[in-house]
Amino acid sequence: MNQRRLAFLFLVILLACGPLASQELPALIPKPSKISMGKGSFTFDTATAFVVPAHSAQLSELAAMAAEEVHSITGFTPAIRRDKQPLAGKNVVVLRIAPALVRLGAEGYALEVGQPVILIEAPTAAGVWFGLQTFLQLLPPGAAGAPFAVPVLKIEDRPRFAWRGMHLDVCRHFFPVAFVKKYIDEIAMYKMNTFHWHLTDDQGWRIEIKRYPKLTAIGAWRSGTMVGAYSLQQFDSVRYGGFYTQNEVKEVVAYARKRHVTVVPEIEMPGHSLAALASYPELSCTGGPFEVAKGWGVFPDVFCPKETTVTFLQNILTEVCALFPGKYIHIGGDECPKDRWKTCPNCQALMKKLRLKNENQLQSYFVRRIEKFLNKKGKQMIGWDEILEGGLAPNAAVMSWRGTAGGIAAAKQRHKVVMSPGSHCYFDHYQGEPAFEPLAIGGYTTVDKVYSYEPIPAELKRSKTKYILGAQGNVWTEYIPNEQQVEYMAMPRMAALAEVLWSPKKGRDYADFQERLIRHFALLDKKQVNYSRSIFQVKLAMKPPPSKTGALVELSSPFGGTGIHYSLDGSPASPSSPQYAGPLPVIASSLLKFCYVDRGSVRGRVAEQAITVTKSTGKSIKLKTPPHENYPGDGAFTLVDGIRGDLTRYGKNWIGFWGPDLEAVIDLDRTEAFSRVSLDVFDGEGSWIYPPISIEVFVSNDGERFTSVKKLSADEIRRQAGSIRMDVGPQSARYVKVYAQNAGTIQAGKQGAGSASWLFVDEIMIE
Ligand code: ACM
Ligand code: ZN
């Protein structure tokens, strides 16, 4: 027998004996620490009941919640029986507390699917709850009341980290109690245990405080909201707001508690406090008046850390501590500009009296006062990593968001840390190619990037790793105006982070996770969760065509090339459209539609991309000055690649110059007749991007001596609002030069005053 036959035979034997021979592993997220599949199955039908010990009200309540879930997933409503000898039953799901299983810790559980009995046991009720979450993921969504099989298996499971958190900002946009509960359900489904509720910020104060009614009478409402990209600085004038009454807060806390989720409230101080200052301007350095913010960003007016402010915040925290039974209270602490403190007589006198060297120390003094107060109430303070600046309060925990350095520094000082670096844990970032995603704040944090996150920093000594409590995903809602969009941004990145936090590090494997995730989507569909399908998004790249004519489009999929289908003739892209088989030449302007098809169905979104083909498309182009390294696009080729930049947001289809002018020369390859030259320019004051103050077009036949054929003034450019068309009269030339003059130093009173302007340009079109 030759080597290959021998290897083949060996493989056959391996498959016959190995776990693959018994059953497919269920699509569990997060993946359990230990799972072994058996043979056969438990049949779930109308007679299947939950059984709990006769005396346990707590397990009865868990069983009742699980029964409701079973009903919504499968159509069956199992009965709940209290029984002195639960294990003696048949066709039952038994829940019990097993003190002997101490090895499973405070949240671990054991789950065994056998033939007459499914047993879920744990040393704590929390463990039974997490076991039930696993059980629910074993059920087939869409069983619709018909009996179904649950595969025989054994699981022993416990989490890797204690803090498995998700955050929600309800200030930039407000979400009602019913949605907050659904969000908590989603957190719980993935065995996460912490909900960080961001309740106060510049754009709204969202929690009723009995002692200070103006916080919600005034601070919960703003007179308009920023619309579209920050760079555009556009606002509506619709009154917007809302808040939670203390009764509603209690309802949410109780709801979460039943699901073993702890709610951590965040009351922002001393920065991000405009909504509070609009209500009580006397707590600022200047006295105001202020308005609740309509736009996003960081604002210079913050709490003045004087005695009256400290008393005010302590009174608020007294009410907050009474509402939230958890150990931690989050006090924000991030992004507090010190401008006002530097010129405030109160602040400066206080610094002198306390012998503080700088304003960071003043912030530290203030945070320590608050910490002492919280500690006296039996609470632990947690804050964003800026609370390290000027010296950390003695018992504070740190939430590391500006990368991981803050978390590392805090752990080295033996302080507890929750990791939430923007790079992996900010779920307000784009999760797919921005051009095919709804407007987001920026960034690029894909599901596999989240999954690749390791909360324990490599540079931390082993003796200090115990200070890393876990990690958290943050959902800031500046660009998330509604509930559907919250789910879209959070899911499935929340699932990826949940696995990072629960499952053993060893054995983490993205391909395996993704395969389970795709099967798990059926459960999210059943639960009507608006998760993102961006993992299926086909990627598009423009290539310089070897023929130097028209556009050349390259499509690619993370699942391989064979599932990509496209259309160029305006018809919808579908499984019956042409299959992509290599770079597509596009020789006339067209709307390209494309999608990913798996087993006959479109997965994810059908993307559309307008391709604009003119005489300049695909031609050689040279720039006198290269674009800035932060906005390089694809270099000069970006200007003739066939894709026009989006005038409502800048991205990789634009190239940016910070200071320099644009000077581009296109070689049309031969003498061509044309009468119009067009150029796209971006106008984005909020990002210091200003249109050019003049544009001039030149032509040449030798590429050396150029003749000016058109010049536009600043006014003419403004009037054309981004898409600049220049009628140059009948021309016949081989070379075309476009010169756009940078707006120069930004004038006083405008965003970015005193800095150089950015100039963003895209497609040069010659017709
Ligand atoms: C933050 O994102 N400002 C904590
Ligand atoms: Zn002050």
The DSSP code sequence of 457-471 is -TTS-GGGGGGEEEE
Contact 335 CB / ligand 1 (< 6 Å): yes
In this predicted structure, what is the pLDDT of residue 13?
Answer: 39
CA of 269 to the centre of ligand 2 (A): 13
pLDDT at 537: 96
Ligand 1 contact via 384 beta carbon (within 6 Å): yes
User: Which ligand is the nearest neighbour of the Cα of 421?
Assistant: 1
Ligand 2 centre distance from Cα of residue 349 (Å): 9
- How close is the Cα of 196 to the center of ligand 1, in Å? 13
Q: Is residue 111 part of a domain?
A: yes
My answer on whether omega of the bond before 660 falls inside 30° of 0, hence cis, is no
Closest ligand to Cα 309: 2
Residues facing 471 on adjacent strands? 164, 419
Identify the pLDDT of residue 458. Answer: 96
Ligand 1: nearest atom to the Cα of 332: 4
Dist. CA 657–CA 628, nearest whole Å: 5
For the chain, give the number of residues.
767
* Separation of CA 260 and ligand 1 centre (Å): 26
Longest dimension (CA), the chain: 99
Phi, psi at 638, each rounded to 5°: -50, -30
Q: Where do the DSSP E strands lie in 162-278?
A: 163-169, 194-198, 200-201, 204-205, 221-222, 226-227, 234-235, 240-241, 262-269
Beta strands per DSSP E along 158-313:
163-169, 194-198, 200-201, 204-205, 221-222, 226-227, 234-235, 240-241, 262-269
Write out the E strands in 270-349. Answer: 328-332
Q: Counting ligands in written order, which one lies closest to the CA of residue 406?
A: 1
Q: Is the CB of 441 under 6 A from ligand 1?
A: no
Residue from 552, 551, 533 nearest 607 by CA: 533
Give me ligand 2 centre to Cα 250, in Å. 34
Rounded to two decimals, what is the model's pTM?
Answer: 0.94
Ligand 1, atom 2, residue with closest C-alpha: 401
Q: Where are the alpha helices (DSSP H) in 377-492?
A: 405-412, 422-425, 447-451, 483-490
For residues 97 and 81, give the distance between their C-alpha atoms in angstroms, rounded to a whole number.
16
Q: How far apart are CA 23 and CA 431, in angstroms?
A: 33
What's the CATH code of the domain at 218?
A: 3.20.20.80
Q: Identify whether residues 449 and 548 lie together within a single domain.
A: no
Asked if residue 427 has its Cβ within 6 Å of ligand 1, the reply is: no
In the chain, the number of structural domains is 4
239 and 151 inside one domain: no
Ligand 1 pocket test, candidate residues 264, 387, 401, most atoms within 8 A of CB: 401
Q: Which residues in the chain show pLDDT less than 50?
A: 1-21
- Of 157, 179, 195, the last residue of a domain is 157
121: domain CATH number is 3.30.379.10
| Same domain, residue pair 583 and 710 | no
Catalytic residues: 201, 272, 335
pLDDT at site 143? 84
Query: CA-to-CA distance for 206 and 240, rounded, in angstroms?
Result: 12
Task: Give distance in angstroms: CA of 320 to centre of ligand 1.
Answer: 21
Report the atom number in ligand 1 closest to the C-alpha of 474: 2
With respect to residue 9, please indicate whether it lies within any of the assigned structural domains: no
Looking at the CA of 366, which ligand is closest?
2
Candidate from 476, 477, 478, 480 with most ligand 1 atoms within 8 A of CB, to mutate: 476
CA 335 to chain centre: 20
Which of 135, 157, 179 corresponds to the end of one domain? 157
- Domain range for 725 is 620-766
Same domain, 332 and 414: yes
Q: How far is the CA of 420 from the centre of ligand 1 (A)?
A: 10
Q: What atom of ligand 1 comes closest to residue 426's alpha carbon?
A: 2
Q: Which of 296, 334, 472 to mutate to test the pocket of ligand 1 (most atoms within 8 A of CB)?
A: 334
Task: Identify whether 6 is part of a domain.
Answer: no
The predicted structure's pLDDT at residue 407: 98
**Count of H helices and E strands in the chain?**
19, 35
Same domain, 514 and 641: no
Domain co-membership, 49 together with 150: yes
- H, E, C per residue of 402-417: CCCHHHHHHHHCCCCE
Q: How far apart are CA 643 and CA 613, in angstroms?
A: 9
| Angle between the N-to-C axes of helices 493-502 and 483-490, in degrees from 0 to 180, rounded to the nearest 10 | 50
Q: Is residue 726 domain-shared with residue 693, that is, in the same domain?
A: yes
State whether 437 and 584 are in the same domain. no
- The residue among 534, 555, 581 that closes a domain is 534
Ligand 1 atom nearest the C-alpha of 272 is 3
Whether 507 and 31 have beta carbons less than 8 Å apart is answered as: yes
- Find the ligand nearest to 296 CA: 1
334 in contact with ligand 1, CB cutoff 6 A? yes
Ligand nearest to the CA of 303: 2
Q: Which is the closest atom of ligand 1 to the Cα of 476?
A: 2
In sign, the C-alpha dihedral spanning 406, 409, 412, 416 is negative
Answer whether 426 contacts ligand 1 (Cβ < 6 A). no
Residue 14 included in any domain: no
Q: Helices (DSSP H) in 328-421: which residue ranges?
A: 339-343, 345-353, 359-376, 405-412
- Kindly state whether residues 453 and 363 are assigned to the same domain: yes
Q: Which neighbouring-strand residues pair with 745? A: 756
For residue 729, the CA-to-ligand 2 centroid distance in Å is: 63
Report the atom number in ligand 1 closest to the C-alpha of 335. 3
In a domain, 483, yes or no: no
- The rounded Å distance from CA 110 to ligand 2 centre is 56
Report which protein residue has its CA nearest ligand 1's atom 3.
334
Based on the fold, state whether residues 118 and 238 are members of the same structural domain: no
Residue 505 placed within a domain: yes
Q: Do the domain assignments include residue 128? A: yes
Are residue 591 and residue 648 in the same domain, yes or no?
Answer: no
Ligand 1 center to 401 CA (angstroms): 6
Whether 128 and 170 share a structural domain: no
Domain at 642, CATH number: 2.60.120.260
For ligand 1, whether the C-beta of 183 sits within 6 Å is no
| Atom nearest to 399 CA in ligand 1 | 4
In a domain, 489, yes or no: no
**319 vs 208, 315, 377, 396, CA distance in Å?**
9, 7, 11, 20
